[in-house]
Amino acid sequence: MVRRYRRWNELSQAGLAERVSVSRQTIANIEKGNYSPSVHLALAICRVLGRTVEEIFGDEQEQEQ
């Protein structure tokens, strides 16, 4: 979901990474599901993307119901 909301906000991985003070590779790994962000980082991503933690990091199956 990070990728979807990042694109809706017209941000590149590098742009989002800069705004939350991590590397572009960290954002790429979060989007691929290879890395679970800390609570601090997850909240920072949500603030930048203007979404809630549940919207971005919640279970996709729960969101579809």
The yes-or-no verdict on residue 41 having pLDDT over 90 is: yes
CB-side neighbour CA atoms (13 Å) of 21: 5
Residue 61 binned pLDDT confidence (cut-offs 50, 70, 90): very low
Q: What is the pLDDT of residue 59?
A: 77
Higher per-residue pLDDT: 20 or 58: 20
Inter-residue contact 56 to 3 (CB < 8 Å): no
Provide the residue range defining the domain that includes 28.
Answer: 2-58
CATH label of the domain that carries residue 15: 1.10.260.40
CB neighbour burial string for 43-60, b if at least 16 within 10 angstroms, e if fewer? ebbbebbebeeeebbeee
Q: Is 64 contained in some domain?
A: no
* Domains held by the chain: number: 1
Inter-residue contact 13 to 6 (CB < 8 Å): yes
The yes-or-no verdict on residue 60 having pLDDT over 70 is: no
Q: What is the pTM of this model?
A: 0.87
Q: Is 39 contained in some domain?
A: yes
Query: What one-character DSSP code corresponds to residue 36?
Result: P
